Amino acid sequence: MNIIPQKIFSGRRFIKIALNPPNFNPGSWCGAGKIWLDEENSEYWLTSRPREGEVKRGYAVEIYRSNNGLDYSLVNWITKEELSEMIGRTVQSIENQQLLRDPLTGKYHLYLSIDVFQENIAGRVDKIYASKWETYLLTADDPRDSWNPYGFVLRGDQEYDSGESRDCSINIIDGLYFCLYKARPAGKSRVNTALAVSSDGKSWRKLGLLSIDGERQPEYFLLNGSIFPSSLGP
């Protein structure tokens, strides 16, 4: 029996707001994370980064845990100042994050999109595309305990991602990591979705920008999605 996606999603119902921003002033919000369901331990993990207004950008990464996927409790918190000390350079802002567990080692991986530009350009219209976004990895034995710095795993080392190499959406299929991420050339406004793969979640091989039916991505194609297993492959 064939079931169209619209049929499945027609049953969606609003239940509640899972997480509120630090305050409700203009420009304040939280999010840019991804929920991970740990089926082995029946736990839901949610990461978020808070922001207050235009100047106090993503100033921390928050880790929340839930037993039912509805009610979340804060179990860990890493500020951008603490992250700056780990890395050895100033982190201007934290945005997209993703938490998952490596199937081979059992260690938890926390991928963070961070702005490492030499100055805070929040609110600077003339420098919207001057920021430098790269992806950094932290590891831990338990998300509630201390996190250890591993290093940058997606650098802006290609022309197409020299300005942004961030906002990963990572899925593990048959032990292979697939990563869709936002890629933008330095000084340019056009953002595309790029693909990278890895066997351990640490060393990544970039496969370049994705094409759509063999054609270049359209101007409005900004957001990346997820890759799922199927009987015909990913």
**152 has which bridge partners?**
136
Give the closest residue to 227 by CA, choosing from 156, 183, 167, 176: 176
Angstrom distance (rounded) from CA 166 to CA 43: 26
54 pLDDT band, cuts 50/70/90, is confident
Q: Looking at residue 212, what DSSP letter applies? A: B
182 pLDDT band, cuts 50/70/90, is very high
Q: Which two tokens stand for residue 127?
A: 């420098």
Output the average pLDDT for the chain: 90
Cβ atoms within 10 Å of 140's Cβ, excluding its own: 18
pLDDT in tens, 137-173: 999 999 999 999 999 999 999 999 999 999 999 999 9
Mean pLDDT, residues 209-228 taken together? 83
pLDDT of residue 221 exceeding 70, the answer is no
pLDDT in tens, 88-133: 999 999 999 999 999 999 999 999 999 998 777 665 666 666 688 9
Angstrom distance (rounded) from CA 97 to CA 95: 6
Contact call for residues 162 and 140 (beta carbons, < 8 A): no
Q: Which domains does the chain carry?
A: 20-209 (2.115.10.20)
Contact call for residues 196 and 176 (beta carbons, < 8 A): no
- Alpha-carbon separation of residue 43 from 111, 143, 233 (angstroms): 19, 12, 28
Angstrom distance (rounded) from CA 204 to CA 180: 12
Measured in Å, how far apart are the chain's first and last C-alpha atoms?
Answer: 22
Q: Do the strands 176-184 and 204-209 form a parallel or antiparallel pair, or are they unpaired?
A: unpaired
* pTM tops 0.85: yes
- Alpha-carbon separation of residue 84 from 9, 58, 218 (angstroms): 42, 13, 36
